[in-house]
Amino acid sequence: MLLLAVLSTAMMGQEAPSAAPVVQTSAQIRAAAAKSGFVGNTGCRNCHKHDAIWNAFPQNPHFQAKNGCESCHGAGQAHVDAGGDIDTVVRPFSILKPAEIVASCLSCHAKEFNRANIRRSEHTNHDVACTSCHSIHNAKSPRNLLAKKDERELCYQCHTDVRSQFDLPSKHRVNEGLMSCSDCHNPHGGSTPTAGMGQSSKMLNKSHSSEQPCMKCHVDKRGPFVFAHQAGEIDGCTTCHKPHGSTTSKLLSRPTVTMQCQECHTGSGPFGTRNNRGITTPDHANHSMVDPRYQRCTGCHVAIHGSNVHYRFLR
């Protein structure tokens, strides 16, 4: 009993331990900041007028948004009260995840049809966010607010293999400035022109509402033809052509026309073998690939993209 009394007296003499301070995470701080008030562009300018953020922003279309800076970054009162702590910025784009950046931009840009597929585009799936290509505060190009002055240099940062293809002998003249990447590609993601081309690139601009982008320039190959070359209708132009550049003329993907054609026309039966029959009727024509006369298919099949006259594309 005496021991219990002594222990009890000792414990009464000790003070209760103080509670540990509550530490808020950055997410909790930003959530609280979102509930603070708006300060307007003047509040932002007071601190940012001496850095590059404010230099060109008043000429930027985003400056005309309803709440100016806070239309993208969220309510700024808590940020001003904290003296500029980045944790109090509701949407600090420099540290946001790519998916969060895309979601923020789409709060305004989702209504634009050419961005309808951006959430499932190749860029978004590989964590290439809007700010990877666009610069809101320091745009080098007034058109589309690009982060670099030259669109092709912006694309070449990642697509180095394509850059080298544009230096090949046969090419689309992008490096010469006669074309740009966005003439054919939609960097925000697109859809395939037809159901049959479901395996082709999803980053293309469509021509004539539902055609391959090639048809914007090569309108003579568009058709419709009475006798169409099925390869172009199903797999598209890239079945035979390399769109960026090739060592072969006409941007072909194989060294010779014969090799190109024989990817599909493999020579079943006596086709393409040495024989004594030569060329008979069109339905039973036999071609000896040893004979130079038959080593350039388009010498006879001149309308190879499609014909309104002959089902063998002879004219």
Q: What is the average per-residue pLDDT within 87-103?
A: 90
Is residue 1 scored above 50 in pLDDT? no
Is residue 283 scored above 80 in pLDDT? no
Closest C-alpha among 135, 127, 114 to residue 189:
114
One-letter amino acid at 260 equals Q
Closest C-alpha among 287, 313, 286 to residue 231:
313
Is residue 197 scored above 90 in pLDDT? no
Is residue 263 scored above 70 in pLDDT? yes
Q: What is the average per-residue pLDDT within 111-123?
A: 87
Q: What pLDDT, on the 0 to 100 scale, is given for residue 153?
A: 92
Question: Which of the four pLDDT bands, split at 50, 70 and 90, describes residue 280?
Answer: very low
Is residue 171 scored above 90 in pLDDT? yes
Q: What is the average per-residue pLDDT within 40-47?
A: 83
Which helix H or strand E contains 33, and what residues bound it?
Answer: helix 26-33
Q: What pLDDT, on the 0 to 100 scale, is given for residue 196?
A: 59
Q: Which residues contact 148 (CB under 8 A, 6 or more apart)?
A: 140, 141, 154, 157
Q: Which residues contact 261 (CB under 8 A, 6 or more apart)?
A: 297
Question: Which of the four pLDDT bands, split at 50, 70 and 90, describes residue 167?
Answer: very high
- Residue position matching structure tokens 């219990």: 4
Q: What pLDDT, on the 0 to 100 scale, is given for residue 131?
A: 92
Is residue 178 scored above 80 in pLDDT? yes
Q: What is the average per-residue pLDDT within 292-298?
A: 83
- Contact between residue 244 and residue 171 where contact means Cβ atoms under 8 Å apart: yes
More confident residue, 245 or 294: 245
Q: What is the pLDDT of residues 3-36, one digit of tens each?
A: 445 445 544 555 545 555 555 666 666 676 667 7
Q: What distance in Å separates the CA atoms of residue 64 and residue 75, rounded to the nearest whole number?
A: 16
Q: What pLDDT, on the 0 to 100 scale, is given for residue 18?
A: 54
Cis upstream peptide for 224 (omega within 30°): yes
Burial level of 283, CB count in 10 A (0-12/13-18/19+)? exposed
Q: What is the pLDDT of residues 209-253, one digit of tens each?
A: 778 889 899 998 888 899 988 887 777 888 899 999 999 999 999
Count of residues in the chain: 315
Q: What is the pLDDT of residues 50-61, one digit of tens each?
A: 777 787 787 888
Q: What distance in Å separates the CA atoms of residue 60 and residue 137, rounded to the nearest whole number?
A: 8
Burial level of 315, CB count in 10 A (0-12/13-18/19+)? exposed
Question: Two tokens at 29?
Answer: 């701080």
The fraction of the chain above a pLDDT of 90, given in percent, is: 29
Is residue 120 scored above 80 in pLDDT? yes
Burial level of 169, CB count in 10 A (0-12/13-18/19+)? exposed
